[in-house]
Amino acid sequence: MTSLLRKPLLGCIADDFTGATDLANNLVRGGMSTVQTIGIPRDSKVLLDADAIVVALKSRTISKDDAITQSLEVLSWLQSQGVQQIYFKYCSTFDSTKEGNIGPVIDALLTALNSKFTIACPAFPEAARTIYRGHLFVGNELLSDSGMKNHPLTPMTDSNLVRVLQSQTNRKVGLVDYETISKGAEAISSKFSSLQSEGVEIAVLDVLSNQDLHFIGSAIANMPLITAGSGVAIGLPRNWGLGQSNEASSDGFLKQAKGYQAILAGSCSLATNSQVDHFRKAGNPCFCIDPFALDTGEDVVRQAITWAQSFIGQRPLLFYATAQPEEVAQVQTKIGIDRAGLLVEMTLAQIAVQLVEIGIRQLVIAGGETSGAVIKALKIDQMNIGPQIAPGVPWTSAVVNGEQIHIALKSGNFGGADFFENAFRRLND
């Protein structure tokens, strides 16, 4: 008897949870059915029925050895699923520490795939991430002038991606400049060959528009490993005859949402700061989490839930640790970067678990690390992709304790100031 299951075409390893839904969103909108799993599924032998599989890891800021080990485990599981091509997804702002983990994970994946060449391209023009002369721009600013210079865990102070990546790998890093990209797939492929003859193994790509992403998509059709933000995924579905003429029409579909609404914000990025500000100023119920109270052992989770019980059912409830860079710096100096991050993440995760117990069924989570902590605490193992709220942020659904929950994982710097209000409108109108 022949199996009715199709073999997945694309296997993706995402280094954080918001990044995974961002990538899955672009694949779904491009016409690829996509399953997003949280780590390797418990029953790893079951074959998944989808065009693409996106595995979410929380490996962006862990030690580089752990990031390599986890990424390689996912690689071999994706290979056991029969995928044709591997996609390593990192942040559109190239978030990494001095040690990596982008360079070391690329190295390990290239070696494991016995491959000698790949691309590195965080560009995502729809979210205003473009690359020119190897320099990454966030909107009109260089990466190093953007809010990313103050990121609590991965401050980005150099916009030159060739230089940043070269400091994380022994492989030679090169550039395919905009003149070449704009000429189309053939020119890009021939530049790949000339770079390889110069010993380059990883090529950073300039990108200004979705058209560039489509050119790149054709040029990398047969590349065993792609490494990129979510933008490069826009040019891939057509390689398998799956592209849509109208990408916006292929939003994912979810069952109707029910239950109460809440937002958990652990991101201190510029966009999240403005979203929290906007939401507070509109008079919505907000609970602020003070890292110093966590450090002294106060039972902030209990306080938050007691507070929630008196407001639940009215408007969406916001729980936030979001703060301006100066406040974050003060906290980090007194408590330590890692301890502060962990305390806030653990607190928001425990609040999430108890919110679901008291009837919250629609949850927006802001921040990649924060999302990772919350999704793990809720013991979610798979997410379905639904309609897009803003570029890079779809609604998803998942099962928690047998109940269907709608969840949006918002990357720190994605979305406009009224993102939280829009999110619930998009789901319920």
Residue numbers at the binding site for ligand LCNOYBR7 (CB under 6 A): 16, 18-19, 22, 91-93, 229-230, 368, 392, 411
Query: Rounded CA gap, 240 and 326, in Å?
Result: 48
CA atoms within 13 A on the CB side of 313: 4
Q: Which of 223, 328, 377, 423 binds ligand ATP (CB under 6 A)?
A: 328
Tell me if residue 71 falls in helix, strand or coil. helix
Query: Rounded CA gap, 383 and 36, in Å?
Result: 5
Q: With contacts defined by CB under 6 A, name the span among 175-183, 215-223, 245-253, 362-370 that binds ligand ATP.
A: 362-370
| Using rule CB under 6 A, residue 92 touches ligand ATP | no
Q: From the list ligand ATP, ligand LCNOYBR7, none, which binds 168 (C-beta under 5 to 8 Å, kind-based)?
A: none
The amino acid at residue 123 is: A
The 8-class DSSP code of residue 207 comes to B
Q: How far is the CB of 377 from ligand ATP (least distance, A)?
A: 13
Q: Which of 102, 108, 304, 321 binds ligand ATP (CB under 6 A)?
A: 321
Q: From the list ligand LCNOYBR7, ligand ATP, none, which binds 269 (C-beta under 5 to 8 Å, kind-based)?
A: ligand ATP
Q: From the list ligand ATP, ligand LCNOYBR7, none, which binds 206 (C-beta under 5 to 8 Å, kind-based)?
A: none
Q: How far is the CB of 198 from ligand ATP (least distance, A)?
A: 34
Query: Rounded CA gap, 78 and 82, in Å?
Result: 7
Q: With contacts defined by CB under 6 A, name the span among 116-124, 128-136, 148-156, 191-199 that binds ligand ATP.
A: 148-156
Find the Cα–Cα–Cα–Cα dihedral 136, 151, 62, 42, rounded to 10°: -80
* Number of Cβ within a 10 Å radius of residue 135: 18
Q: How far is the CB of 295 from ligand LCNOYBR7 (least distance, A)?
A: 25
Toward ligand ATP, which CB reaches closer, 321 or 405?
A: 321
| Using rule CB under 6 A, residue 40 touches ligand ATP | no
Toward ligand ATP, which CB reaches closer, 17 or 215?
A: 17
Q: How far is the CB of 372 from ligand ATP (least distance, A)?
A: 8
Query: Rounded CA gap, 181 and 189, in Å?
Result: 10
| Using rule CB under 6 A, residue 370 touches ligand ATP | yes
Q: From the list ligand LCNOYBR7, ligand ATP, none, which binds 207 (C-beta under 5 to 8 Å, kind-based)?
A: none
Toward ligand ATP, which CB reaches closer, 69 or 332?
A: 332
Query: Residues 143, 137: contact at Cβ < 8 Å?
Result: yes
| Using rule CB under 6 A, residue 247 touches ligand ATP | no
The 8-class DSSP code of residue 329 comes to H
Q: How far is the CB of 275 from ligand ATP (least distance, A)?
A: 11
Q: From the list ligand ATP, ligand LCNOYBR7, none, which binds 153 (C-beta under 5 to 8 Å, kind-based)?
A: ligand ATP
Q: From the list ligand ATP, ligand LCNOYBR7, none, which binds 267 (C-beta under 5 to 8 Å, kind-based)?
A: ligand ATP
Q: Which of 131, 344, 352, 398 binds ligand ATP (CB under 6 A)?
A: 344
CA atoms within 13 A on the CB side of 74: 30
Toward ligand ATP, which CB reaches closer, 269 or 396?
A: 269
| Using rule CB under 6 A, residue 25 touches ligand ATP | no
Helices (H), ranges, 101-184:
102-112, 161-166, 178-181
Sort 184 into a burial class: Cβ within 10 Å, 0-12 / 13-18 / 19+: middle
Q: What are all long-range contacts of 4-7, with beta carbons under 8 Å and residues at least 24 apart?
A: 5/47, 5/49, 6/49, 6/50, 6/51, 7/81, 7/82, 7/83, 7/84
Q: 425 CB contacts (<8 Å, ≥6 apart)? A: none
Q: With contacts defined by CB under 6 A, name the span among 70-78, 266-274, 352-360, 400-408 that binds ligand ATP.
A: 266-274
Q: From the list ligand LCNOYBR7, ligand ATP, none, which binds 345 (C-beta under 5 to 8 Å, kind-based)?
A: ligand ATP
H or E element at residue 263: strand 260-265
Query: Residues 243, 32: contact at Cβ < 8 Å?
Result: no
DSSP secondary structure, 401-426, as one string: TTEEEEEEEE-TT-S-TTHHHHHHHH
Using CB under 6 A as the criterion, which residues of the chain lie in contact with ligand ATP when the complex forms?
Answer: 16, 18, 151-153, 266-269, 272, 291, 321, 323, 328, 331-332, 340-341, 344-345, 367-370, 411-413
